[in-house]
């Protein structure tokens, strides 16, 4: 019976099928839908947007980029967006790390606390922004509480400015940073720290010499994902910020160009600049992780 069948299920002596001739198997066929999805919804829009950005309504092929970097109302959005995205990302990563360490040991409370911390994921950006408007507004609960206990004499502004948008980004971005950090922390073999402790290493030395090098790749990836999410801020900048002032971020400028000015090529140029800025920051972060550890990550479980 075995002599009648060849490898891959083909009958001996028969011609190989088209899939076998191309070297495809069942796994390849399962990957194809994902490949088509990426090509249709990511690669093609990027290429189309790049080509469109070099087709201005007026002027030469580089006029959209010349105008973007030549007018303050456009290029200033880069710094305004970075001043929101970078602090929010750093706050999320540094807050997530100690909490993930505290919850790295499995216990009956770990799942409960983890579930509570990731609740903002279920709320969404718009609902979080609306909640902050009611909580941190001039007549919100937080201001009333501070006034009641005489911490402040009169309410101060925490919404419709930079602070409100920053707090919104931290609240909505923290669950993702926390879950990523927790997965990396729990993946480190605890026997490494115990072995270091038997040699006299203090908890800080254990963290610096063992955990931090092994966590560096994970923290870098978590930072990049959280940064990209924060950099694309849009609803919070409108609902909680100053859309015409300190929180006129790049996404808002691109939206106005496309749907208010009806200048799709200029909007495409802004989107390309936005993607380039994100890529530069991501490349820098991935390069910095090499300063902590250059060897193989062999201390994780699995």
Q: Tens digit of pLDDT for each residue in 224-250?
A: 999 999 999 998 899 899 888 889 999
| Whole-number Å distance between alpha carbons of 4 and 247 | 71
pLDDT of residue 266: 95
Q: From the centroid of its chain, how far is CA 234?
A: 14
pLDDT of residue 299: 44
- Show Cβ contacts of residue 226 under 8 Å, excluding neighbours closer than 6 positions: 88, 89, 92, 93, 173, 176, 177
pTM of the model: 0.81
Query: 38, 47 in Cβ contact below 8 A?
Result: no
Q: Which residues of the chain have pLDDT under 70?
A: 1-26, 292-302
């Amino acid at each position: 019976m075995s002599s009648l069948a060849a490898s891959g299920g083909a009958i001996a002596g028969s011609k190989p099928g088209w899939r076998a001739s191309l070297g495809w198997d069942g796994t390849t066929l399962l990957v194809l839908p994902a490949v088509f999805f990426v090509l249709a919804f990511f690669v093609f829009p990027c290429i189309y947007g790049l080509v469109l950005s070099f087709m201005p309504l007026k002027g030469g092929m580089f006029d959209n980029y010349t105008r973007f970097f030549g007018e303050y109302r456009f290029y200033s959005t880069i710094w305004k967006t970075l001043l929101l995205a970078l602090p929010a990302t750093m706050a999320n990563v540094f807050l997530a790390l100690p909490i993930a360490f505290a919850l790295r040991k499995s216990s009956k409370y770990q799942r409960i606390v983890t579930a509570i911390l990731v609740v903002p994921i279920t709320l969404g950006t718009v609902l979080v922004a609306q909640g902050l408007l009611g909580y941190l507004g001039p007549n919100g609960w937080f201001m009333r509480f501070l006034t009641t206990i005489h911490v402040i004499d009169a309410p101060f502004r925490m919404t419709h400015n930079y602070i409100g948008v920053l707090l919104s980004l931290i609240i909505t971005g923290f669950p993702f940073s926390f879950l990523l950090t927790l997965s990396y922390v729990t993946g480190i073999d605890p026997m490494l720290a115990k072995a270091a402790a038997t040699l006299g290493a203090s908890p800080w030395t254990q963290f610096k010499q063992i955990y931090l090098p092994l966590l560096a790749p994970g923290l870098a990836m978590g930072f990049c994902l959280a940064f990209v999410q924060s950099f694309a801020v849009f609803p919070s900048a409108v609902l909680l910020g100053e859309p015409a002032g300190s929180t006129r971020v790049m996404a808002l400028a691109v939206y106005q160009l496309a749907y208010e000015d009806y200048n799709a090529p200029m909007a495409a140029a802004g989107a390309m600049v936005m993607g380039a800025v994100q890529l530069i920051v991501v490349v820098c972060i991935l390069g910095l992780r090499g300063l902590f550890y250059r060897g193989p990550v062999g201390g994780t479980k699995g």
